[in-house]
């Protein structure tokens, strides 16, 4: 089961011991302190996700999501479903929807949120949800 959290405003996903950074970071990140080799370049408009090389064991702690997707399909699906196309950043609205669909959870969440459905929902259906959530209020 893959675990998905956040790192410097981007998404950090772990699947089978492999780590991916999805989207652009929104703040400076000390990758070495986080347990990773610093990546060469991050530009989610060119490459929506990159592999990260861990320097030590890295744990993605709650609040986080769990999914059944594995390998690069996990990173590709998260990029397709959660990134804003015009700037390559993670949509905070979509992230909050996944973390607390009812809008009533007590934060900080102590248990991972099971969002296996995100990998199973057909893209056309998710696009309706995505467009509704991202529409300006």
Taking only the tens place, the pLDDT of each residue in 109-134 is 788 999 999 999 999 999 999 999 99
User: Peptide bond preceding 72: is omega within 30 degrees of 0, i.e. cis?
Assistant: no
Q: Supply the pLDDT for residue 87.
A: 95
CA quadruple 56, 57, 61, 67: dihedral positive or negative? positive
The whole-angstrom separation of Cα 120 and Cα 52 is 26
* Mean pLDDT score across all residues of the chain: 93
pTM of the model: 0.93
Three-state SS string across 72-137, please?
HHHHHHHHHHHECCCCCCECHHHHHHHHCCCCCCCCCCCCCEECHHHHHCCHHHHHHHHHHHHCCC
As for how many domains the chain has, the answer is: 1
Task: Give the domain range for residue 45.
Answer: 2-134
């Amino acid at each position: 089961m893959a675990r998905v959290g956040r790192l410097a405003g981007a998404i950090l996903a772990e699947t089978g011991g492999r780590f991916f950074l999805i989207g652009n970071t929104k703040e400076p990140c000390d990758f070495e302190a986080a347990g990773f080799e610093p990546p060469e370049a991050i530009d989610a408009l060119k490459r929506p996700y990159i592999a990260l090389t861990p320097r030590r064991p890295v744990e993605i702690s709650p609040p986080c999501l769990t999914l059944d997707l594995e390998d690069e399909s996990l990173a590709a699906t998260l990029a397709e479903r959660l990134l804003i196309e015009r700037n390559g950043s993670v949509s905070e609205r979509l992230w909050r929807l996944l973390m607390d669909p009812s809008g009533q959870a007590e934060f900080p969440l102590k248990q991972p949120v099971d969002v296996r459905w995100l990998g199973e929902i057909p893209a056309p259906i998710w696009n309706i949800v995505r467009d509704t959530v991202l529409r300006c209020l």
